[in-house]
Amino acid sequence: MRHATFACLAAFPLFAVGPAMAQTPPPGTLEVPAKTLSAPGDVSPQLQKIIGAPLRTNWDKRPKTGEEWKPVADAGAAALIKNVPGMMERLKVKVEKTTIDGVRAFIVTPETIAPENANRQILHMRGGCYVLNPGEAALPEALLMAGFGHVRVISVDYRMPPEAYFPAALDDGITVYKALMKTTPAKNMAFIGTSAGGALVLEMGLKAKQLGLPMPGAIASGTPMSDVTKVGDTFQTNAMVDNVLVSPDGFCDAGAIVYANGHDMKDPLISPVYGDMNGFPPTILTSGTRDLLLSNTVRVHRKLRQAGIDAALQVYEGMAHAHYLRDDTAPETKEVFEEIALFFDKHLGK
Amino acid sequence: MRHATFACLAAFPLFAVGPAMAQTPPPGTLEVPAKTLSAPGDVSPQLQKIIGAPLRTNWDKRPKTGEEWKPVADAGAAALIKNVPGMMERLKVKVEKTTIDGVRAFIVTPETIAPENANRQILHMRGGCYVLNPGEAALPEALLMAGFGHVRVISVDYRMPPEAYFPAALDDGITVYKALMKTTPAKNMAFIGTSAGGALVLEMGLKAKQLGLPMPGAIASGTPMSDVTKVGDTFQTNAMVDNVLVSPDGFCDAGAIVYANGHDMKDPLISPVYGDMNGFPPTILTSGTRDLLLSNTVRVHRKLRQAGIDAALQVYEGMAHAHYLRDDTAPETKEVFEEIALFFDKHLGK
């Protein structure tokens, strides 16, 4: 009877779950004990350092008005902008500040534009919870796209609280898109953005449909704030695991609420996962296994696939929210943007 | 000075992580407090029930020999097989037991074979940690593929401990593949498998290269046991969250150790993420946000993409390990297999 020890295992094969345990909490809930995570060893040293960093300081501070956010955003931008000159040098890109039909923007031009990209432009919407990263602080993702993709990028420095509220960011993006269409066919353009920017590029797709504008040739949406109503299972499972956003009740939620300014948070123009994505162009989505918004990335991917859209998903080992924007020297950063560049090249007109 | 409350937020913008906190554990580690998870509300009622089930009973029991596993496997199979007749009826498929060049197998034929699939066959390798789901217990995934994909499926009832050890399962798969090639061109065939089966279909790709056999037209690898050395970040982050595998130190690890029978666990023929995937056919990978093997799914995806392979990733909201095999009436189950069928149709010869 040496097998008796394991006999009770037998009644519950791999692909069936056992009956409720004694003393279980309410049906459907699961008690997960405290744990200590190590930074994963199967990523680059640069990414390991980023993943292994402690939780973002003051992740639970929640400014409640545009006026309260402004000094936070300005000081944060001042810190972030210090990285920009080095990035420009390493990525071999130039930046020109401009205004396009009244909207502030940056034109980011790589030293070498790939021949196939000669007649293409990428429209970039920055991240930052709709309240952070004004001015040059918007640039890192645009620099990475231009540098690794060898393509011209127009980064929209859209209005934010307290200057303007919903739907100002979206309107500014559409204004620039319309202006660019005067010289570049829509099918030769792509939208790219991360976090709030990842949501905005989807919102712009929905808005373009409403306005009867042509769709861009492709969209790249990184870890999008696609659902600001806090629906999404990784809001639970990756809470206190994602060292950037940390919690669904943290600073980023507070930013979205201030931007919404009383508007319905479930409106697809601020929670685009609820939008009708029929007719969308090919779309590539990026996330990581520790991302608080992993669910809200994969939910958009499913939504697009259900609408028959050519949608690609890339999920990176160990990455929390937007870790791929942190270090242009990490090989994973290059991989993310080269994948996006390949996807654009496959789908954009020339 | 109403902004003073938030001034300290300012020094750490969204895309930068703050300095170490006082009393932090060793660098790179993160203390995650205990939490209570609810079953997600944004999935079907069927899937919600599966996700909300308690942890698998006896997930921490670790049989140590093939002889100890056999009664566990037999009893588990007896429980699982009860679902097969109902599935066959709902999915409108027939099953014929056979032997192919000495290897036990099942031929699964749908009532209607789609015209484009007339000359195609799908080779199925079952899951079960290399030690579970013998005989008809192998069938659920094969039934789902045949029923939703309207295609003929050959399910390999490969040898397991204590009958045989590494590389018996792989050898049996290759034997059947070679036999099928006598009547069906390799490019008209695909491999499909989940868990151990998800690893085996990758191992078969690597082995086919070694043997100079032609590649199949496509591979579908679901939540593969692609790394049995316990590397992979979601082994930590989804431990005690995935209600099927539960832990990297649970029953499934014990099964892989028994199958390996002393063989190097890092050999790509048992941990295929370490293999050279150049020359692989188009491959589709499936996982879920609560999957303990999410990392080992996305790591294979990256590995394939780095080799320039046309690889697609689908990650489902809330699903733990192989939840998509649990309930053929869940719309998500249909979605998983219809995506795989579409992928096969796009890439297989006719």
| A-contacting residues in B 211-240 (Cβ below 8 Å) | 231-234, 236-240
Average pLDDT score over residue span B328-339: 98
Tokens 């953005």 found at: A193
- Local confidence pLDDT in tens for the 350 residues of chain A: 333 334 334 333 444 333 334 455 678 899 999 999 999 999 999 999 999 999 999 999 999 999 999 999 999 999 999 999 999 999 999 999 999 999 999 999 999 999 999 999 999 999 999 999 999 999 999 999 999 999 999 999 999 999 999 999 999 999 999 999 999 999 999 999 999 999 999 999 999 999 999 999 999 999 999 999 999 999 999 999 999 999 999 999 999 999 999 999 999 999 999 999 999 999 999 999 999 999 999 999 999 999 999 999 999 999 999 999 999 999 999 999 999 999 999 999 99
Output the DSSP codes for A175-208: HHHHHHTTTS-GGGEEEEEETHHHHHHHHHHHHH
Give the one of A10, A127, A195 whose C-beta lies nearest to B75's C-beta.
A10
Domain that holds residue B320: 62-347
The CB-side HSE value for B18 (13 A sphere, CA atoms) comes to 22
Å from B192 to nearest chain A CA? 17
The whole-number pLDDT of residue A25 equals 60
The whole-number pLDDT of residue A14 equals 43
Is the pLDDT at B222 greater than 60? The verdict is yes
Does residue B23 fall inside a structural domain? Answer: no
Does A161 lie at the interface with B, CB-CB under 8 angstroms? no
The whole-number pLDDT of residue A22 equals 45
User: Two tokens at B199?
Assistant: 């690893």
Q: Which of A289, A290, A299, A304 to mutate to test the interface with B (most CBs of B within 10 A)?
A: A289
Q: Which residues of B touch A20 (CB under 8 A)?
A: 54
Give the separation between CA A226 and CA B62, rounded to whole angstroms. Answer: 42
Q: Which residues of A touch B283 (CB under 8 A)?
A: none
Tokens 């029923």 found at: B147
Q: Do B13 and A299 touch (CB under 8 A)?
A: no
The complex's ipTM works out to 0.93
Give the separation between CA B75 and CA B132, rounded to whole angstroms. Answer: 10
Domain of B128, CATH number, reads 3.40.50.1820
Tokens 């303990």 found at: B292
The answer to whether the beta carbons of residues A169 and A139 sit under 8 Å apart is: no
Say which amino acid occupies B144.
Answer: L
Does residue B246 fall inside a structural domain? Answer: yes
Does B28 lie at the interface with A, CB-CB under 8 angstroms? yes
Does A342 lie at the interface with B, CB-CB under 8 angstroms? no
Beta bridge partners of B25: none
Give the separation between CA B344 and CA B323, rounded to whole angstroms. Answer: 21
Q: What are phi and psi of A95, to 5 degrees?
A: -125, 135
Question: Predicted confidence band at B14 (pLDDT cuts at 50, 70, 90)?
Answer: very low
Q: Do A232 and B317 touch (CB under 8 A)?
A: yes
Does A247 lie at the interface with B, CB-CB under 8 angstroms? no
Q: Do B14 and A50 touch (CB under 8 A)?
A: no
Mean pLDDT of chain B: 93
Give the separation between CA A18 and CA B59, rounded to whole angstroms. Answer: 10
Q: Do A233 and B325 touch (CB under 8 A)?
A: no
The whole-number pLDDT of residue A26 equals 73
List, in order, residues 6 or more apart from B240 with CB less than 8 Å away.
A30, A32, A33, A35, B55, B246, B247
Of all helices (H) and strands (E), which one includes residue A96?
strand A93-100
Q: Do B54 and A17 touch (CB under 8 A)?
A: yes
Sheet with B311-316, edge to edge strand ranges:
B93-100, B103-110, B153-156, B121-125, B189-194, B218-222, B283-288, B311-316
Q: How many domains does chain B have?
A: 1
Tokens 């609408």 found at: A307
% of chain B with per-residue pLDDT over 70: 93
Does residue A50 fall inside a structural domain? Answer: no
Of all helices (H) and strands (E), which one includes residue B100?
strand B93-100
Give the separation between CA A242 and CA B337, rounded to whole angstroms. Answer: 31
A vs B, Cβ pairs < 8 A, gives 354
Of all helices (H) and strands (E), which one includes residue B30?
strand B30-32
User: Two tokens at B330?
Assistant: 């869940």
* CB-count burial class (<10 Å; 0-12, 13-18, 19+) for A285: buried
Does residue A83 fall inside a structural domain? Answer: yes
Q: Which residues of B touch A129 (CB under 8 A)?
A: 14
| B-contacting residues in A 29-88 (Cβ below 8 Å) | 29-42, 48-58, 61, 63, 67-77, 79-80
Q: Do B9 and A295 touch (CB under 8 A)?
A: no
The whole-number pLDDT of residue A27 equals 80
Does A22 lie at the interface with B, CB-CB under 8 angstroms? no
Question: Predicted confidence band at B56 (pLDDT cuts at 50, 70, 90)?
Answer: very high
| B-contacting residues in A 108-127 (Cβ below 8 Å) | 127
Give the separation between CA B299 and CA B306, rounded to whole angstroms. Answer: 10
* CA atoms A254, A259, A260, A261: torsion sign: positive
Question: Predicted confidence band at B23 (pLDDT cuts at 50, 70, 90)?
Answer: low
pLDDT tens for residues B136-183?
A: 999 999 999 999 999 999 999 999 999 999 999 999 999 999 999 999
Q: What are phi and psi of A322, to 5 degrees?
A: 60, 25
Which pTM does this prediction carry? 0.93
For β-strands A35-37 and A103-110, DSSP reports them as unpaired
Does residue B21 fall inside a structural domain? Answer: no
Question: Predicted confidence band at B27 (pLDDT cuts at 50, 70, 90)?
Answer: confident
Among the listed residues B170, B177, B95, the one whose alpha carbon sits nearest the alpha carbon of residue B138: B95
Give the separation between CA B187 and CA B167, rounded to whole angstroms. Answer: 25
Does B25 lie at the interface with A, CB-CB under 8 angstroms? yes
Average pLDDT score over residue span B266-273: 98
Q: Which residues of A touch B315 (CB under 8 A)?
A: 294, 298, 301, 313, 315
Q: Do A54 and B326 touch (CB under 8 A)?
A: no
Give the one of A6, A63, A140 whose C-beta lies nearest to B15's C-beta.
A140
The whole-number pLDDT of residue B215 equals 98
| A-contacting residues in B 175-194 (Cβ below 8 Å) | none
Give the one of A15, A27, A39 whose C-beta lies nearest to B28's C-beta.
A39
Tokens 């697809």 found at: A268
Q: Which of A233, A246, A249, A296 to mutate to test the interface with B (most CBs of B within 10 A)?
A: A233
Does A282 lie at the interface with B, CB-CB under 8 angstroms? no
Does residue A20 fall inside a structural domain? Answer: no
The whole-number pLDDT of residue A125 equals 98
Q: Which of B8, B47, B57, B233 to mutate to test the interface with A (most CBs of A within 10 A)?
A: B233
User: Two tokens at B262?
Assistant: 């002393």
Does A135 lie at the interface with B, CB-CB under 8 angstroms? no
Does residue A22 fall inside a structural domain? Answer: no
| A-contacting residues in B 285-324 (Cβ below 8 Å) | 289-290, 294-295, 298-299, 301-302, 305-306, 312-318, 322
Q: Which residues of A touch B45 (CB under 8 A)?
A: none
Give the one of B38, B61, B67 whose C-beta lies nearest to A236's C-beta.
B38
The whole-number pLDDT of residue A165 equals 98
For β-strands B218-222 and A153-156, DSSP reports them as unpaired
Of all helices (H) and strands (E), which one includes residue A316?
strand A311-316
* CB-count burial class (<10 Å; 0-12, 13-18, 19+) for A164: middle
Q: Do B289 and A290 touch (CB under 8 A)?
A: no
Does residue B54 fall inside a structural domain? Answer: no
Average pLDDT score over residue span B29-53: 96
Question: Predicted confidence band at B73 (pLDDT cuts at 50, 70, 90)?
Answer: very high
Q: CA nearest A227 in B: which residue?
A: B42
Q: Which residues of A touch B318 (CB under 8 A)?
A: 233, 295
